[in-house]
A and B are shown apart, each in its own frame.
Chain A
Amino acid sequence: MKKYLTTASLLFASALLVGGPALAQQGITDTEIVIGDVEPLTGPPALLGVAASIGHKIAIAEANSAGGINGRKIKYVLEDDGYVTARTIQGAKKVIEVDKAFAMLGMSGSGQSIAVMPVLEKSGIPTVIDVAPVKFLWEPARKNVFVVGQSYEEGIIHLVNYLAEKNPGKKWGLITQDDDYGITVRDGFDSVVKAKKLNVVYSGNYKKGQQDFSSDMLQLKDSGAEVFLAGGIIAENIAMMKELEKLNVKPVTGIFWPGRIEPVLKLMGPAGDGIYAVDYVEPFAGEAGKAFLEKAKPLVSEAELKGINRYTMTGYAAAKVLIAAIERCGKRPTWACTISELENTKNVETGVMAPISFGPGVRFSNQKLQIMQADAATLSFKPVK
């Protein structure tokens, strides 16, 4: 009897060791693997949330049409948080605990992804964040959370450095939003101002949701600023540029990537011609951008095609990296293996940004930046050589 029990115990233990973890792993069946996402799909920030989710869908559709991940089709579960932090946490919990997602993508805006971090860490689910890269997400490095992109601060430093080199000795103006995004922009700007001793003659701060910038731009004009960093997001930058046009001034203007979407140029009209922008994804006017649009056409609906912008590229790149990592885990992917393979990601080509790499203890891909300039005639951003 004793011998029988020992044999049975050993068999049970070996069964657990060999197949146990794989069978116990959530979000995987013989035919399907679930990838979850929480994005703002309603309200003004839907502009980024919807676009990012379209990027995820393109990468998933591409993988599914090639047979899925080692024979398993990817099921994409998407939750709307309306850009409300409490709903991001609620949505992430639902996707992890109810939908039993195997891995996560996206995770809404910067404030939302910071707030949801404890949920992600506690669950241990492999996650690739792509919408709003802010330092807190990778410093300190979390075992299961990876970030594709470049930090807001680095982006601003790159842009201001470029504009400072092109416009030596000029007077500078800056306006930022009164939130964490605005603080990051201002911090990046201030670090270059200090290093290069720039002459800042106007420094404004507007309340989130402000729509009329007449007095702010009049102050900018009055200050005599010749180089202007417009720290708005989308509608704010449009309003500022139109106001400057009305005031008959045209300083050299730089904008940041959250506002670098092509429809903005149409709304700015001639006022937007020549503005500079910084980004780590390819412009749609370039070869890579055109190739991406061609690739997307058969994979998404007509309406989704219209919703594509730069965030679609960041979403696509993150999903490609995640899918490739799961794929490398073979027939029985686990969270541990996926995290390990994400860590092993080395120079993965996505076609929409520089190759992506992580490493041991490195959870941030630190993408290469490039400067672009708006061309009002073609309503596009073109790389500056």
Chain B
Amino acid sequence: MQYLTQLLISGLAIGAIYGLIAMGFAVIYKSTGLVNFAQGEMTMIVAYIAWTISTTVSGNLFVVAIGAIVAAVILGLLIERVVMRPMLGEPVFATVMVTIGLAVILRSSINFIWDAYPHGLDVGFGRNIVRVGNIGVRTGQIAVIATLLVLLAAIWAFFRYSKFGVAMRAVASDDRTALLMGISAPRVHAAAWAASSVIAGIAGVFFAISYDLSPAMFQLGLKSFPATILGGLDAVLGSGVGGLLIGITENLAGGYLGSGMKEVAGFLMIIVVLMIRPFGIFGERDIERV
């Protein structure tokens, strides 16, 4: 039982990271109809910026958190304005290719701006181990699970009750009609990119606190993509839940079937789910796939 509990807790912790990144994928897709293949790289860049703040400005948790959020907003807005907005109206395939190009550029920038060494993000929190009986968990892992749950609730409320959230849903549903109703699609797109960057950045910072920071961190994007497919590419909340499911599935497969199964378990799971529900567990039936 202890073995299973430890697997589930660790699965939830890594799953929460996947879930946050997956929510970032879904926010952009829901608002722009686009799959952003640079999501993992955005996660990594924000984490590196947080690390730079912690080592050069202050290691205080709040300073790092605020600095990282501001940096994530700027990064998201910059990408939207400079890279994505000129692609408005272009074929989806071309736009997706642009995000792949962006991913390569962001990935390479790590070595140019920082270095190839792994680093630890030390904000005086997250590395301590809490033990209940023989079960151990790091405080950073508890915090990321809690953060995911809070964000799930906040985003649900945002899309359901806020004017801007409704506007985002309207643009996603039919941008031309939304435009006739007085909604600025570029403004909605910019907000989506900024929000997605912040959510992915939060995942990156928590990952760096609990594990470490390295140029290989962009691979989290690839690991999180099944989560958003599983939850539904257009379902922000579903993507978050999908992350938890993938994290748990991976860990159970790794713990009971062997190490080799861990990395493929998530992908096997989405193949099975997509055969039954091609739009994901929480996705809408008529979404367009790219």
27 residue pairs A–B, Cβ–Cβ below 8 Å: A42-B112, A43-B111, A45-B116, A46-B115, A50-B111, A50-B115, A50-B116, A204-B259, A205-B260, A207-B263, A212-B10, A212-B211, A212-B250, A212-B251, A214-B11, A214-B251, A215-B7, A215-B10, A215-B250, A216-B259, A219-B254, A222-B3, A234-B214, A242-B211, A246-B129, A248-B134, A264-B118
B262 interface neighbour in A50, A207, A269, Cβ under 8 Å: A207
Which residues of chain A are within 8 angstroms of B11 by Cβ–Cβ distance? 214-215
**B137 at the A interface (CB under 8 A):** yes
Give the 8 A-B CB pairs with smallest separation, nearest first: A215-B254, A214-B10, A46-B116, A204-B259, A207-B263, A47-B116, A215-B255, A246-B136
Residues of A within 8 A of B (CB): 41-47, 50, 82, 175, 178, 204-207, 209-212, 214-216, 218-219, 222, 234-235, 238-239, 242, 245-248, 261, 263-264, 266-267, 269, 306-307
Say whether, besides A42-B108, A46-B111, A238-B212, A209 and B259 are in contact (CB < 8 Å).
no
The answer on a CB contact under 8 Å between A216 and B262 is yes
Query: Which A residue's beta carbon lies closest to that of B215?
Result: A44
Alpha-carbon gap, A239 to B117, bound state (A): 14
B138 to chain A: closest residue by CB: A246
Report the Cα distance A72→B238, complex, angstroms: 66
Whether B148 sits at the interface, judged by CB under 8 Å, is: no
Determine if B259 and A175 form an interchain contact, defined as CB atoms under 8 angstroms apart. Answer: yes
Chain A residues whose C-beta falls within 8 Å of the C-beta of B111 in the assembled complex: 41-43, 46, 50
Chain B residue total in the interface (Cβ 8 A): 45
For residue B64, CB closer than 8 A to chain A, the reply is no
Question: Which B residues are within 8 Å of any A CB, using their own CB?
Answer: 3, 6-7, 10-11, 13-14, 107-108, 111-112, 115-120, 127, 129, 131, 134, 136-138, 207, 211-212, 214-217, 219-220, 250-255, 258-260, 262-264
Chain B residues lying within 8 Å of A234, measured Cβ to Cβ, are 118, 214
B165 → chain A closest CB, angstroms: 33
Tell me which of A82, A178, A219 has the highest count of chain B C-beta atoms within 10 A of its own C-beta: A219
- Residues of chain A contacted by B118 (CB below 8 angstroms): 234-235, 238, 263-264, 267
Tell me which of B6, B112, B219, B260 contacts A247 (CB under 8 A). Answer: B6
A381 to chain B, nearest CB (A): 16
Nearest neighbor of A202 in chain B, beta-carbon distance? B259
Q: Which residues of B contact A306 (CB under 8 A)?
A: 115
Q: Give the docked Cα–Cα distance between A269 and B212 (Å).
A: 12
Give chain B residues whose Cβ lies under 8 Å from the Cβ of A247.
6, 136
- On whether A214 and B14 interact (CB within 8 A), knowing A263-B118, A267-B118, the answer reads yes
Tell me which residues across on chain B come within 8 A of A50, comparing CB atoms. 111, 115-116
Shortest Cβ distance from A261 into B: residue: B117
Contacts of B134 in A (CB 8 A): 248
**B43–chain A nearest beta-carbon distance, Å:** 12
How far apart are the CA atoms of A263 and B219 in the complex, in Å?
A: 22
Q: A204-B258, A246-B137 are in contact. Are A209 and B216 (CB under 8 A)?
A: yes
Which of the listed residues A205, A206, A212, A245 has the most CB atoms from chain B within 10 Å of its own CB?
A212
Beyond A50-B116, A206-B262, A211-B219, whether A216 also contacts B212 by CB under 8 A is no
Q: Which residues of A contact B251 (CB under 8 A)?
A: 212, 214-215
CA distance A196 to B3 in the complex (A): 32
User: Within the complex, which residue of A43, A205, A219 is in contact with B255, where a contact is CB–CB below 8 Å?
Assistant: A219
List residues of chain A with CB within 8 A of the CB of B217.
211
Please measure, in the bound complex, the distance between the C-alpha atom of A239 and the C-alpha atom of B251, giving whole angstroms: 15
Distance in angstroms from A289 CB to nearest chain B CB is 18
New contact pairs (20) apart from A206-B263, A215-B11, A261-B117, CB-CB < 8 Å: A42-B108, A46-B111, A46-B115, A50-B116, A82-B108, A204-B259, A211-B216, A214-B10, A214-B11, A214-B254, A215-B252, A216-B262, A218-B6, A218-B7, A218-B255, A219-B254, A246-B136, A263-B118, A263-B119, A267-B212
Contact partners of A246 in chain B: CB under 8 A: 129, 136-138
Closest B residue to A247 by beta carbon equals B136
Q: Which residue on chain A has the smallest CB distance to residue B129?
A: A246
Given the interface contacts A207-B262, A211-B219, does A267 sit within 8 Å of B119 by beta carbon? Answer: yes
Query: Complex formed: what's the CA distance from A269 to B131 in Å?
Result: 19
Chain B residue with the shortest CB-CB distance to A236: B216
| Shortest CB distance A245–B (Å) | 7
Residue with the greatest number of chain B CB neighbours at <10 A, chosen from A45, A46, A205: A46
Instruction: Say how far B189's CB is from chain A's closest CB, in angstroms.
Output: 30
Q: Assess the B215–A43 pair: CB atoms within 8 A.
A: yes
Alpha-carbon distance A277/B197, docked complex (angstroms): 40
Inter-chain contacts of B14 with A (CB < 8 A)? 212, 214
Chain B residues lying within 8 Å of A178, measured Cβ to Cβ, are 260
By beta carbon, the residue of chain A nearest B137 is A246
The reply to whether B254 and A216 form a contact with Cβ atoms under 8 Å apart is: yes
Of all chain B residues, the one with the shortest Cβ separation from A40 is B116
Cross-chain contact B262 with A210 (CB below 8 angstroms): yes
Shortest Cβ distance from residue A198 to the other chain B in the assembled complex, whole angstroms? 20
> Which among A206, A207, A222, A263 is the interface contact of B117 at CB below 8 angstroms?
A263
Name the B residues within 8 Å of A263 (CB-CB).
117-119
Q: What residues on A are CB-neighbors of B214 within 8 Å?
A: 44, 234-235
